[in-house]
């Protein structure tokens, strides 16, 4: 039986890294049929909208999508496609598996952290207004329901992956009501998982601890804004955005995407590192239950990184995007 997956190539380097990921995932043997739809700059030109309804509809229908980065036009009144997709499909968990890879430069070794970020509320609920001419107010929304839901996601992930500890990041010492509710809600969920250690850190101290001894952390669970910042910080601990995969998971669907943006400066030059997109595809394979195929891709990636013959310039090599993908396919056998 084939599984239909929506592929959104995206803008800038998106089409290059999407093609690379599509080829690698197909070569893994997973029976995936791709439904390719455009969003972003291409559809602004055609439909006047970066996220036309038919794109949302295909993701709703197929329930799983692999998405390239999309440029957010500055000051043109379009809402970020990424934020709209997350909202419309209720993709409440943003999840990044971040670990050191062979020969990927980093100041640290032994990092293997999953950042679980609440994706629907907090200051990103987008409720803000001017108060007169010279003041602005943005409202931070935290609910028990969304906090428990993300907490449960983090603990279920820990159980599924055999991970040992969940650390809750917050600022409940100052934001006693909102972050206090986030902390209390997740602590109450933790009682259902006695085999998994639950601890919490104030988010500023968490930043310091992460750059001092990152190996002490396993799963981090955070509200939206801190999660946004910390997930890039942890990507930096393992070699940067070029190697950071991501996933947005909801109750009835999931969109997998690299953490990086559309990198317009290098678009069309065959310079983009396809790894983050390929590793997002690996997360997708695991989500779909294709664990053997996911492992095959991971092995191919590790071999290519280990040999260093076919790696992109950002990793210190001179291979092009598609050349690196082809080498991963060869190494998967
Ligand atoms: P960016 O991630 O596109 O680029 C940051 C730096 O990293 C640049 O130097 C770029 O060349 C480099 N880089 C990024 N990905 C790379 C890759 N795969 N291989 C090699 N080098 C890579 O971030 P930005 O410049 O802040 O954003 C550019 C555009 O992307 C903006 O319009 C932004 O809104 C959008 N964006 C989209 C997403 C998304 O769709 N998920 C995420 C972030 C940014």
Q: What is the pTM of this model?
A: 0.94
Q: Whose CA is nearest to atom 41 of ligand 1?
A: 69
Rounded to the nearest whole angstrom, what is the distance from the C-alpha of residue 162 to the centroid of ligand 1? 32
Domain ranges of the chain: 1-97+240-333, 107-237
CATH of domain 107-237: 3.40.718.10
SS3 state of residue 94: strand
Locus of tokens 């050191």: 100
User: The dihedral of CA 38, 253, 294, 276: what is its sign?
Assistant: positive
Helical (H) or strand (E) element with 124: none
- Whether ligand 1 lies within 6 angstroms of the CB of 273 is answered as yes
Digitized pLDDT (tens) for each residue of the chain, 333 residues in all: 899 999 999 999 999 999 999 999 999 999 999 999 999 998 988 888 899 999 999 999 999 999 999 998 776 667 778 888 888 899 999 999 999 999 999 999 999 999 999 999 999 888 899 999 999 999 999 999 999 999 999 999 999 999 999 999 999 999 999 999 999 999 999 999 999 999 999 999 999 999 999 999 999 999 999 999 999 999 999 998 889 999 999 998 999 999 999 999 999 999 999 999 999 999 999 999 999 999 999 999 999 999 999 999 999 999 999 999 999 999 997
- Whether ligand 1 lies within 6 angstroms of the CB of 71 is answered as yes
- Whether ligand 1 lies within 6 angstroms of the CB of 94 is answered as no
Non-local CB neighbours of 199 within 8 Å, separated by 6+ positions: 165, 166, 167, 168
- Rounded CA gap, 211 and 61, in Å? 42
Whether the CB-CB separation of 3 and 29 falls below 8 Å is answered with no
Structure tokens belonging to residue 51: 């996220």
DSSP string across 12-29? TTHHHHHHHHHHHHHHTT
Burial of 202 (0-12, 13-18, 19+ CB in 10 A): middle
Structure tokens belonging to residue 203: 């988010």
Q: Which atom of ligand 1 is nearest to the CA of 73?
A: 32
Among candidate residues 178, 167, 165, the one with its CA nearest the CA of residue 230: 167
Half-sphere exposure of 9 (CA within 13 A, CB side): 16
- Whether ligand 1 lies within 6 angstroms of the CB of 20 is answered as no
| CATH-assigned architecture of domain 1-97+240-333 | 3-Layer(aba) Sandwich (3.40)
- Whether ligand 1 lies within 6 angstroms of the CB of 133 is answered as no
Same fold across 1-97+240-333 and 107-237: yes
- Whether ligand 1 lies within 6 angstroms of the CB of 237 is answered as no
């Amino acid at each position: 039986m084939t599984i239909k997956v929506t592929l959104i190539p995206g803008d800038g380097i998106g089409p290059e890294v999407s093609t690379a990921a599509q080829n690698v995932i197909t070569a893994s043997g997973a029976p995936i049929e791709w439904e390719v739809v455009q969003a972003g700059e291409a559809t602004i030109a055609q439909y006047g909208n970066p996220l036309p309804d038919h794109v949302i509809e295909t993701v709703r229908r197929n329930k799983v999508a692999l998405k390239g980065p999309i440029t957010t036009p500055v000051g043109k009144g379009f809402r970020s496609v990424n934020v709209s997709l997350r909202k419309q499909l209720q993709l409440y968990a943003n999840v990044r598996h971040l670990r050191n890879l062979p020969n990927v430069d980093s100041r640290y070794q032994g990092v293997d952290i999953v950042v679980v970020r609440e994706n629907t509320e907090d200051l990103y609920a987008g409720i803000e207004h001017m108060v007169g001419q010279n003041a602005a107010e943005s409202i931070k929304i935290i609910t028990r329901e969304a906090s428990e839901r993300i907490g449960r996601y983090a603990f279920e992930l820990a159980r599924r992956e055999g991970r040992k500890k969940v650390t809750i990041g917050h600022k409940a010492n100052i934001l006693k009501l909102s972050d206090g509710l986030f902390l209390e809600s997740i602590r109450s969920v933790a009682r259902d998982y006695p085999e998994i250690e639950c601890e919490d850190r104030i988010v500023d101290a968490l930043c310091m601890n992460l750059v001092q001894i990152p190996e002490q952390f396993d799963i981090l669970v955070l509200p939206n804004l801190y999660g946004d910042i910390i997930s890039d910080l942890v990507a930096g601990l393992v070699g940067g955005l070029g190697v950071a995969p991501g996933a947005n998971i909801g109750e009835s669907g999931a969109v997998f995407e690299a953490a990086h943006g559309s990198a317009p400066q290098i678009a069309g030059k065959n310079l983009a590192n396809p790894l983050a997109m390929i590793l997002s595809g690996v997360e997708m394979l695991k989500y779909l239950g294709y664990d053997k195929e996911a492992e095959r891709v991971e092995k191919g990636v590790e071999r290519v990184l280990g040999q260093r013959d076919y790696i992109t310039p950002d990793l210190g090599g001179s291979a092009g995007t598609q050349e690196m993908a082809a080498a991963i396919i060869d190494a998967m056998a």
